Chains A and B, each alone.
Chain A
Amino acid sequence: MTDTTNTEPTKPHRSQWADVWDQLKAHKGAMAGGVIFIVIVLGVFIGPWLWPYDATFIDIRARNQGPSFAHPFGTDQLGRDTLARMMAGGQTSIAVGLTAMLLALSLGSFVGITAGFFKRLDGPLMRLTDLFLALPILPLLLVMMLLFRDPLSSAVGPERGIFILIVIAIGITSWMPTARIVRGDVLALKEREFILAARSIGTSNSNMIKRHILPNVLSPIMVSATLGIANAIITESALSFLGLGFPPDFPTWGRLLNDATQYLQDYPERVFWPGLAISLTVLSVNYLGDGLRDALDPRIRGR
């Protein structure tokens, strides 16, 4: 007679996320990207506490300096320390990127799940998504900035007003890819047996979405999230670069790049730092997203 205890699995139970983490660890690019992104975020948010200079401190006698021990990145035309301005600018750029991504993600997931789950809403919502995809994003963003900048600035203050405006503008113009991917996944999920089982024991629609649908579409949402951060940071910098973003004295990476291009002939090296910061952040986030996509795809996992 066989011993039934021997058939017990010897390995401890592994969750799906542990598998994903193992796979992600093996992806060198993703790990490097993740580490660089965390370093940038920490540097930008903790750095100003450690760095003696303030981003708005004007020292007119130390203007237009090259890199030195006191100012590793040099100073600008008003003698403000470039490293401090880079950190202050990074706070804004990354904060805009994260918030806009969250907004786009929740909008996209909401539309995608609603369209996939409720058959009656599928047609109208997908037509709406198509319409949004046909909008010219950059011109429209510029127009939105033009129209709502002054009213919002006077309502809640210039910096916060523009922050809200940029986040909302990016959010409502970049949710469409997420919505499409999530809808496709929800449609496929709805045909699975466990949904039928849940349905047959009388699960309500809201519980069905919360307990069964949402956890299972989390992986495409996470991949969209990483790509969304990159997209939002680039869009914010583009708006600031075109002079339609934050006010001139308020540093963001795009704004610093714009300021630096005006001194291109005399101090070409100034362009380098903000551009490098934007590119490095976007590159690291893109690599992270690439690795995450591989790690979350069970067909590739284990190879």
Chain B
Amino acid sequence: MLTFTIRRLILAVPTLLFISLVIFLLLELAPGDPMAQVPLTVPPEVKEKMRLALGLGEPMHIRFWKWLVQFFWVEPQVLFDHYFGTAYAEGKLRVISWQTRSPVMDVVVERLPQTLWVVGMSYVVGILIAIPIGIYSAYRQYSVFDQAGTFITMIGYSIPPFFTGPLVIVIFSVQLGWFPFIYDTTHVVNDWDSFVYQLRQMIMPVMVLAMQTTAQISRYMRASMLDNLNQDYVRTARAKGLSERVVVVVHVLRNSMIPVVTVIALGLPAIFGGAIITEQVFSVNGIGAQLIGAIQANDLPTVQTLTFMFAFLIVFFNLIADVLYGILDPRIRYD
């Protein structure tokens, strides 16, 4: 198992390098000029100096190497300095956004909590709803509950978040007026009332994102439970006289969770992708909104860093899913 984990970790390095190269080369083709916003009165030689200051003078491979160093070496140092008060990153050049002229990671750190709160909460809520639905519809296969569950999950799977988003806004904000439909990111939670407000403004984005999660995971949960319910060990457990509750919840559920846990790990990066749209709908000021803003403003360092972070999440959670599968299911031996 350990050798497998190490081998996968080593394999992840060229994958990530390749992805960062693909993103870099794609952005290399960008027609936009970072100097386009500079007034025409600025003489060309000054413009050329500004261009050099942004690090655009060097050939392609050197810029790629510099970005790699900044992202993988300087940024971790900054993080280390921040926590331990050391000064390793003193005076070193970080990945600078063309839009704000400040380090990209500073903006990311500002915005990440919003995304994590909404995305993380919706994922947890989605899983908590999906697992009981999956268990019960497998236990009573082809019952009314199962048929209804299949239909509802199919709907949840088919309705895109950019429709459910406006739809819940129309119903709950415009018609009923229960929840605010713009997410206030400057809101500070310091007492009970502000906590309630925070909850109220989070309900709708969380609901929209959780709908997709629920649809997918309850399908997997149902299929996995069905696989296990007809196994011999279930008959044995019933023959021993165990109560139905214990058979389903302890024996079957534990075995059925193995593939579901991997699916949960695999689905997390996709949720971040879906959050881009949900953030746009509810005006949540998270990293998805940052990416869209950077794309529209032609801010290539930010776009590259954020896209790479999304790729990193996918590779990382794939790795976790593989390793978890091996740990949870002793029948699976990768070596």
Contacts from A to B (Cβ < 8 Å): 130-131, 134-140, 142-144, 146-148, 150-151, 230, 234, 237-238, 241-244, 254, 257-258, 260-261, 264-265, 268-269, 271-272, 274-276, 278-279, 282-283, 286-287, 290
> What A residues does B242 contact at CB under 8 A?
none
> What B residues does A290 contact at CB under 8 A?
154
Query: Could you tell me if B303 and A134 are in contact, using CB atoms closer than 8 angstroms?
Result: no
> What B residues does A244 contact at CB under 8 A?
295
A234 to B313, CA, bound (A): 23
From B18, B26, B276, B315, contact of A138 by CB (8 A): B276
Query: Could you tell me if A257 and B295 are in contact, using CB atoms closer than 8 angstroms?
Result: no
On whether A275 and B314 interact (CB within 8 A), knowing A143-B303, A268-B175, A283-B154, the answer reads no
One digit per residue, 1 when the CB lies within 8 angstroms of any chain A CB and 0 when it does not, for chain B 144-177 equals 0000000000110111101100110110001100
**Would you call B70 an interface residue if the criterion is a C-beta within 8 Å of the partner chain's C-beta atoms?**
no
> Which of these binds chain A: B34-42, B92-100, B232-240, B304-312?
B304-312
**Would you call B133 an interface residue if the criterion is a C-beta within 8 Å of the partner chain's C-beta atoms?**
no
Query: Could you tell me if B310 and A134 are in contact, using CB atoms closer than 8 angstroms?
Result: no
From B160, B181, B280, B296, contact of A234 by CB (8 A): B160
**Would you call B269 an interface residue if the criterion is a C-beta within 8 Å of the partner chain's C-beta atoms?**
yes
> What A residues does B159 contact at CB under 8 A?
275, 278-279, 282-283
Query: Could you tell me if B162 and A134 are in contact, using CB atoms closer than 8 angstroms?
Result: no
> What B residues does A135 contact at CB under 8 A?
19, 22, 311, 314
Query: Could you tell me if B23 and A143 are in contact, using CB atoms closer than 8 angstroms?
Result: yes
Query: Could you tell me if B307 and A139 are in contact, using CB atoms closer than 8 angstroms?
Result: yes
Question: Chain A's nearest CB lies how many Å from the CB of B278?
Answer: 11
Query: Could you tell me if A136 and B303 are in contact, using CB atoms closer than 8 angstroms?
Result: no
Query: Could you tell me if B19 and A286 are in contact, using CB atoms closer than 8 angstroms?
Result: no
Query: Could you tell me if A139 and B170 are in contact, using CB atoms closer than 8 angstroms?
Result: no
Among residues of A, the one whose C-beta sits closest to the C-beta of B171 is: A268
A–B complex contacts, Cβ < 8 Å, 23 sampled = A131-B15, A134-B15, A134-B19, A134-B318, A136-B273, A136-B313, A136-B314, A137-B273, A138-B277, A139-B273, A139-B307, A143-B26, A146-B298, A146-B303, A238-B160, A261-B281, A264-B174, A274-B163, A275-B163, A278-B160, A279-B155, A282-B158, A283-B158
Given contacts A134-B15, A134-B315, 5 further A-B contacts (CB under 8 A): A131-B18, A136-B311, A244-B295, A275-B163, A282-B160
Query: Could you tell me if B15 and A268 are in contact, using CB atoms closer than 8 angstroms?
Result: no
> What A residues does B52 contact at CB under 8 A?
none
Query: Could you tell me if A131 and B19 are in contact, using CB atoms closer than 8 angstroms?
Result: yes
A136 to B15, CA, bound (A): 13
- Which of A147, A242, A243, A257 has the most CB atoms of chain B within a 10 A radius of its CB? A147
Query: Could you tell me if B277 and A241 are in contact, using CB atoms closer than 8 angstroms?
Result: yes
> What B residues does A278 contact at CB under 8 A?
159-160, 163
Query: Could you tell me if B158 and A279 are in contact, using CB atoms closer than 8 angstroms?
Result: yes
From B154, B162, B310, B315, contact of A257 by CB (8 A): B162
Query: Could you tell me if B318 and A140 are in contact, using CB atoms closer than 8 angstroms?
Result: no
**Would you call B241 an interface residue if the criterion is a C-beta within 8 Å of the partner chain's C-beta atoms?**
no
A244 to B181, CA, bound (A): 23
On whether A286 and B157 interact (CB within 8 A), knowing A134-B19, A264-B170, the answer reads yes
A137 to B277, CA, bound (A): 13
> What B residues does A134 contact at CB under 8 A?
15, 19, 311, 314-315, 318
> What A residues does B306 contact at CB under 8 A?
139
A272 to B171, CA, bound (A): 11
> What A residues does B175 contact at CB under 8 A?
268
**Would you call B330 an interface residue if the criterion is a C-beta within 8 Å of the partner chain's C-beta atoms?**
no
On whether A268 and B291 interact (CB within 8 A), knowing A135-B22, A136-B311, A261-B281, the answer reads no
Interface residues of B in 26-55 (CB under 8 A from A): 26-27, 29-31
Query: Could you tell me if B318 and A147 are in contact, using CB atoms closer than 8 angstroms?
Result: no
> What A residues does B19 contact at CB under 8 A?
131, 134-135
